[in-house]
Amino acid sequence: MRDDDTPIHPLFANTPSSTEFKKLRKRIVRQTREAIEHYGMIERGARWLVCLSGGKDSYTLLAVLHELQWRGLLPVELVACNLDQGQPNFPATVLPEFLKTMQVPHRIEYQDTYSIVTDKVPQGRTYCSLCSRLRRGILYRIAREEGCSAVVLGHHRDDMLETFFMNLFHGGRLATMPPKLVNEEGDLFLYRPLAYVAEADCAKFANAMNYPIIPCDLCGSQDGLQRQQVKQILDTWEKNSPGRRQIMFRALMNARPSHLLDPNLFDFAGLSVTAPPSAKTVPSDPPLADIAPDVPRLRDGD
């Protein structure tokens, strides 16, 4: 493997030289590679649409995928895509200029879904659910137009944990964001290669690389979100018991249907016990001669 200090791509032009950053970068690259391999994401010669929102997570995703590609560990073609949804004060020039400077093949798409969302969602409710569905549909269309076989998103470990607890607390189901799925039409994959990466590591990486971060709260719909409440709960648990997040995430990879309550996952009704074992014959005491052959036998009446 080539030295990490070797210039591999303009995305790494200003890489910090500190030992701490090198360890961070290696950890993120390793975890991303593991997720890609564990969930079978690689299709040699495929073309991926890498979704770039301008947040810390998507910048990290874009950079790490290019590093894996440079190292020969990701034999796919990468196309970055940003969807401008018409949010107020969205800095429309930031990402096009960044991607051009970084020599990243890309596509910028403008679709005013913000007006649709504000018209359909009652006042006081969050826009995120409808906004996400509209965005996903547009990205699937773009992927088809670009000849891509997969839409690649920057959701990380903490996103998956938060989604799990949101479904648990508010949805009444055990579910989260899967690292890999097929869309409803059955013609595209959806990948989340950062599934094993912590949010804090994404933040450290993107900030250290000085990428131009665009906030996700431009629509003003973030206050009081259920996700924020869950994040606070997880933050408290992590503070009181460091490493709790990673333990909970491992639990998502170690499901035991027979120890849950869903009869669709496990055939509880079909459980049966085996026939009771036949009574075992209790062996008689062995002859004294077998135990102590030197002891003389007693005569009758002794």
Note whether residue 239 is domain-resident: no
Predicted confidence band of residue 1 (pLDDT cuts 50, 70, 90): very low
Q: What is the pLDDT of residues 82-96, one digit of tens each?
A: 998 888 888 999 999
pLDDT value of residue 133: 85
Note whether residue 148 is domain-resident: yes
Quote the CA–CA distance of 282 and 286 in Å, as a whole number. 12
Quote the CA–CA distance of 271 and 258 in Å, as a whole number. 10
Note whether residue 250 is domain-resident: no
Provide the token pair at 263: 């009869």
Number of domains in the chain: 1
Question: Taking residues 112-120, what's their average pLDDT?
Answer: 80
Predicted confidence band of residue 114 (pLDDT cuts 50, 70, 90): confident
Question: Taking residues 244-273, what's their average pLDDT?
Answer: 95
Q: Which of 81, 82, 83 is nearest to 49 (CA)?
A: 81
Note whether residue 298 is domain-resident: no
**Residue 101: CATH number of its domain:** 3.40.50.620
Note whether residue 104 is domain-resident: yes
pLDDT value of residue 150: 98
Note whether residue 147 is domain-resident: yes
Query: Is the confidence at residue 262, as pLDDT, over 80?
Result: yes
Q: Which of 240, 211, 226 is nearest to 99 (CA)?
A: 211
Query: Are the C-beta atoms of 41 and 69 separated by less than 8 Å?
Result: no
Note whether residue 66 is domain-resident: yes
Helix (H) / strand (E) containing 180:
strand 180-182
Query: Is the confidence at residue 301, as pLDDT, over 60?
Result: no
Question: Taking residues 217-233, what's their average pLDDT?
Answer: 72
Q: What is the pLDDT of residues 278-299, one digit of tens each?
A: 655 555 555 555 555 555 554 5
Predicted confidence band of residue 119 (pLDDT cuts 50, 70, 90): confident
Residues facing 48 on adjacent strands: 78, 150
Provide the token pair at 210: 């000085």
Instruction: Identify the domain containing residue 86 by its residue range.
Output: 12-226
Statement: the pTM of the whole predicted model exceeds 0.95: no
Of residues 100 and 124, more confidence is placed in 100
Note whether residue 63 is domain-resident: yes
How would you list the strands of the sheet with 77-84, edge to edge? 106-110, 77-84, 47-51, 150-152, 189-191, 180-182
- Work out the mean pLDDT of the chain and round it to a whole number: 88
Quote the CA–CA distance of 105 and 284 in Å, as a whole number. 85
Q: Which of 64, 40, 39 is nearest to 50 (CA)?
A: 64
pLDDT over 90 percentage in the chain: 69
Q: What is the pLDDT of residues 33-68, one digit of tens each?
A: 999 999 999 988 899 999 999 999 999 999 999 999
